[in-house]
């Protein structure tokens, strides 16, 4: 019953496994498995242009919320913004079903503190599947370490999103069902319905988004090139950068993690940074931090870690 309660309420658990065991918390991850199985329902619900468009739009919107806000803002404080904008993108990020902003940022800060060392939560040195999904499927990494995010933990709305991390995804799925049924009744020529939008707009879009994000953990420390010497195995990968709106410039990021721009040179596509630049001009965010040109252009790789 405790595991079932944690599907809906991620309150700090007292049975968290701090021993380093890799045992999977099977009861806790039933919703994670169900999300993947739900995508198979595409066989029954079919496909429509409208459903695929919604899926792609939600992928892009939520990927931006993860890369620009969960990552660059909450984890690295790469820029400043208002409390309203902070909450807005925290909610959008929460809809990606990657847990709450405090949990996400705390684990990512720990990753940078111990990158590719034994205390790194998801180093691929411990195996591909561990770095990709295994690390968050057990009790060891269930709790949020508030000591890693003390300034964020002062916001009650962020703590609420962190504790009830399934609330926004459920709201998104319900909203998609209602939208689909409305479209079926009012615009039957669109050939969509409630369940079709749930499968495409939530299940499929969320799964692709989740695994694209996790590839930064599992592949961006294995595949790609290294411009800078860093004490970890981080690598730049153009294809991952396209898939994740700029996160694939991972060696750049580990070299200067505070930068809101991860594609350091003009040819390194960083869509999240382009959007953040527009938001900066509109006054929605400010004090964007980027890498100084002198630091960017020095210390190119003279040795590697393999």
pLDDT of the chain, 306 residues: tens digit per residue? 666 666 677 776 666 555 556 777 777 788 889 999 999 999 999 999 999 999 999 999 999 999 999 999 999 999 999 999 999 999 999 999 999 999 999 999 999 999 999 888 998 888 888 899 988 888 888 889 999 999 999 999 999 999 999 999 999 999 999 999 999 999 999 999 999 999 999 999 999 999 999 999 999 999 999 999 999 999 999 999 999 999 999 999 999 999 999 999 999 999 999 999 999 999 999 999 999 999 999 877 644 444
- Closest of 77, 52, 73 to residue 64, by C-alpha: 73
Query: With left for phi above 0 and alpha for psi between -120 and 50, is residue 183 left, alpha or beta?
Result: alpha
* Beta partners for residue 130, in sequence order: none
Round to whole Å and give the CA distance between 31 and 43. 20
- Closest of 244, 88, 102 to residue 165, by C-alpha: 102
Domain ranges, ordered by start, for the chain: 26-296
Q: Name residue, tokens 């964020």.
A: 152
Round to whole Å and give the CA distance between 219 and 198. 29
Residue 7: φ, ψ to 5° = -65, -35
Stated pTM of the model: 0.93
Query: With left for phi above 0 and alpha for psi between -120 and 50, is residue 299 left, alpha or beta?
Result: left
Tell me whether residue 147 is exposed, middle or buried, using C-beta atoms within 10 angstroms of its C-beta: 0 to 12, 13 to 18, 19 or more.
exposed
* Beta partners for residue 47, in sequence order: none
């Amino acid at each position: 019953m405790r595991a079932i309660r944690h599907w809906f309420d991620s309150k700090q658990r007292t049975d968290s496994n701090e021993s380093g065991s890799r045992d999977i918390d099977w009861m806790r991850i039933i919703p994670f498995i169900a999300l993947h199985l739900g995508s198979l329902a595409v066989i029954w619900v079919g496909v429509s242009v409208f459903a695929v468009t919604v899926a792609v739009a939600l992928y892009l919107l939520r990927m931006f919320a993860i890369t620009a806000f969960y990552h660059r803002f909450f984890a690295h404080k790469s820029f400043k913004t208002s409390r309203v904008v902070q909450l807005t993108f925290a909610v959008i990020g929460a809809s990606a079903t990657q847990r709450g902003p405090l949990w996400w940022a705390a684990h990512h800060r720990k990753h940078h503190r111990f990158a590719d060392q034994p205390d790194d939560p998801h180093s691929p040195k411990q195996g591909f599947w561990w770095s990709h999904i295994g690390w968050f499927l057990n009790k060891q990494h269930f709790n949020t370490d508030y000591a890693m995010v003390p300034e964020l933990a002062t916001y009650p709305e962020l703590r609420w999103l962190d504790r009830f991390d399934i609330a926004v995804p459920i709201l998104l799925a319900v909203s998609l069902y209602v939208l689909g049924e409305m479209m079926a009744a009012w615009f039957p020529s669109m050939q969509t319905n409630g369940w079709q939008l749930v499968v495409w707009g939530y299940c499929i879009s969320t799964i692709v988004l989740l695994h694209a994000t996790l590839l930064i953990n599992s592949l961006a420390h294995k595949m790609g090139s290294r411009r800078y010497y860093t004490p970890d195995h981080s690598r730049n990968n153009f294809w991952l950068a396209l898939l994740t709106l700029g996160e694939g410039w991972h060696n750049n990021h580990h070299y200067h993690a505070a930068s809101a721009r991860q594609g350091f040179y003009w040819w390194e596509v960083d869509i999240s940074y382009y959007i953040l630049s527009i938001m900066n001009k509109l006054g929605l965010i400010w004090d964007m931090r980027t890498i100084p040109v002198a630091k960017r252009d020095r210390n190119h790789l003279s040795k590697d870690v393999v």
